[in-house]
Structure 1
Amino acid sequence: MDKIYLITDIPGYTPQIGRLLSMMNYARHTTLEAVKGLSTEQLDFILDTDSNSIGSLLMHFAAVEVAYQVETFEGRELSEAELLVWHPALNLGEEGRAKIHGHGLDYYIDRLNEVRKKTYQLFATVDDEWLNRTDEDFWYNKPANNYFKWYHVFEDEVNHRGQIRLIRKRL
């Protein structure tokens, strides 16, 4: 973590992938700082009937990352079996509130670390050219490359981290 504020090359990865991973690492670092020391009760706290808990948002980060692993590295959508595991965290809302609760912080951190470990393994198999591969029909019939898709993974985390900080202030 000595280089957490450096967007730089990472040994074993091509330059742009290393920089992307650097940004993802910083986003995750700040997320973990935002949840440090929270109890299970605090992780399960819901502001109102339409809100998500901090625990469900942490699982959402892992689920989004898994979905983009599958989409960008395997060229497919999540399978039925994968959706059984990840759908509540992807969808959040009522389903997330019903199914994601009762876990301590270590549970969520372990899930995040498992998923990120696989992301690192997958990124070691591709190069900077791979980041430019484009899906011509992504959101709203617009093209998107793998670079954007992985930017979105940590951009989504950063956005929801704002929610986490707001919820934490209300505990």
Structure 2
Amino acid sequence: MDKIYLITDIPEYSPQIGRLLSMMNYARFTTLQAVNSLSVDQLDFLMDPESNSIGALLLHFAAVEYVYQVYTFEKRELNEEEVSRWGAALNLGEEGRAGIRGNDLEFYLNILNEVRNRTFELFKTVNDDWLEQEEEFWNEKQANHYFMWFHVFEDEINHRGQIRIIKKRLTA
């Protein structure tokens, strides 16, 4: 984290992968700043009956990253066990409101770290050419792995904006 404001090479990774991971690290750094010291009640707070909690959004970040690990590195969809573990966090909405509650910040941070550490290990197994590999993606359009992994942290940045709005509305 000493070089959090540098998009640069990271030892053990090819140049473009290092830069991608630099961006992912910065996105996560700012997310962690946004949720620092939140209580269970604050993590579970709902602005209205249709909103997502901060805790659910944090678990969503981990779930999305995990899905992209499986999809891009293992070339498969989630299995039944994985859907059971990650489904509420992926779907959010009513499923997330019902199933993602009562956890402290450490719970979410541990899962975020577990998934991110796996991402770091998986990226050691590929190089910049892998980032350029194209395949059919959303709505039968072509996308490369670079875009797919950009989407992982782009989604986090988007939802972090929601977290900041929720924090402004906290009543606890």
TM-score when scaled to structure 1? 0.99
Offset of residue 91 of structure 1? 0.3
Is 1:161 equivalent to 2:157 in the alignment? no
Structure 2 match to 1:140: 139
**How many equivalent pairs are there?**
170
Q: Percent identity?
A: 68
In the TM superposition, what are the counterparts of 1:1-171 in structure 2 within 5 Å? 1-135=1-135, 137-171=136-170
1:13-69 CA-partner distances (Å, limit 9, x unpaired): 000000000000000000000000100000000001110000000000000000000
Which runs of 5 or more residues in structure 1 are unaligned?
Answer: none
1:78-133 CA-partner distances (Å, limit 9, x unpaired): 10110000000000000000000100000000000000000000000000000011
- Measured in 1, the distance between the counterparts of 2:134 and 2:71 equals 12
- Give SS of 2:48's match: coil
- Measured in 2, the distance between the counterparts of 1:92 and 1:127 equals 33
Offset of residue 140 of structure 1? 1.8
- Measured in 1, the distance between the counterparts of 2:77 and 2:128 equals 23
List structure 1 segments (4+ residues) > 2 angstroms apart after TM superposition.
Answer: none
Which runs of 5 or more residues in structure 2 are unaligned?
Answer: none
- Give SS of 1:103's match: coil
- Measured in 1, the distance between the counterparts of 2:26 and 2:132 equals 23
TM-score when scaled to structure 2? 0.98
- Measured in 1, the distance between the counterparts of 2:144 and 2:49 equals 37
- Measured in 1, the distance between the counterparts of 2:168 and 2:50 equals 18
- Measured in 2, the distance between the counterparts of 1:64 and 1:134 equals 20
Task: Give the RMSD, CA atoms, in angstroms.
Answer: 0.5
- Measured in 2, the distance between the counterparts of 1:111 and 1:156 equals 17
- Measured in 1, the distance between the counterparts of 2:115 and 2:133 equals 23
- Measured in 2, the distance between the counterparts of 1:129 and 1:138 equals 18
